[in-house]
């Protein structure tokens, strides 16, 4: 049983390593992740938001709606833990 799992994992790992052939090099400046909108965030963050920390300004100002959804996710996780485990003397 564990042999099948090992073979499946090795085949998946091999496929993933083979697919890194077409990915950009480590630290290259022409990769698609670094050329579309992130230079704009870096250049405009001080004059538009007065925040030197680019990560905080992107998280809370440019992408603030996603952070609202994120806070709702962790709020839901807390409520679910309370609901699952607090079955006290009432039941």
Partner 1 sequence: MEFVIGKYNYWFYIFLMMIGLYAMIAKKNLIKKLVGMNIFQTAIILFFVSMGSKKGATIPIIQAGQAVDAAHYMNPLPHVLMLTAIVVMVSTFGVALALAILIYKRFKTLEEDEMQ
Partner 2 sequence: MIKQCDNVIVQSVSRFLTPFILLFALYVIAHGHYSPGGGFQGGCILGASFILSMIAYDIAEVKRRMTEKMNTVLTGVGVLIYAGIGFICLLLGANYLDYGVLAEILPVGTAKARALGTFGIEIGVGITVMAVMVSIFLNLASGGEHEEGSVE
Max Cα separation, the chain? 62
In sequence order, which residues have a C-beta less than 8 Å from that of residue 67 and are 6 or more positions away? 59, 60
Count of residues touching partner 2 (by CB under 8 A): 31
Least distance (Å) between residue 20 CB and partner 2: 29
Cα end-to-end distance, the chain, whole Å: 42
Q: Which does 28 bind (CB under 5 to 8 A by kind): partner 2, partner 1, none?
A: partner 1
Residues that bind partner 1 in the complex, under the rule CB under 8 A: 1-2, 5-6, 8-10, 12-13, 16-17, 20, 23-29, 31, 33-34, 37-39, 41-43, 45-46, 52-55, 58-59, 63, 66-67, 70, 73-74, 76-78, 80-81, 84-85
Report the distance separating Cα 74 and Cα 81, nearest Å: 11
One residue of 11, 37, 42, 55 binding partner 2 per CB under 8 A: 55
Which tokens in the block code for residue 31?
A: 């990769």
């Amino acid at each position: 049983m564990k042999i099948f799992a090992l073979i499946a994992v090795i085949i998946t790992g091999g496929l993933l390593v083979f697919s890194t052939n077409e990915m950009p090099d480590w630290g290259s400046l022409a990769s698609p992740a670094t050329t579309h909108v992130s230079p704009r965030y870096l250049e405009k963050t001080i004059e538009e938001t007065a925040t030197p920390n680019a990560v905080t300004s992107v998280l809370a100002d440019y992408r603030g709606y996603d952070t609202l959804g994120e806070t709702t996710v962790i709020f839901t996780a807390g409520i679910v833990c309370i609901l699952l485990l607090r079955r006290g003397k009432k039941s």
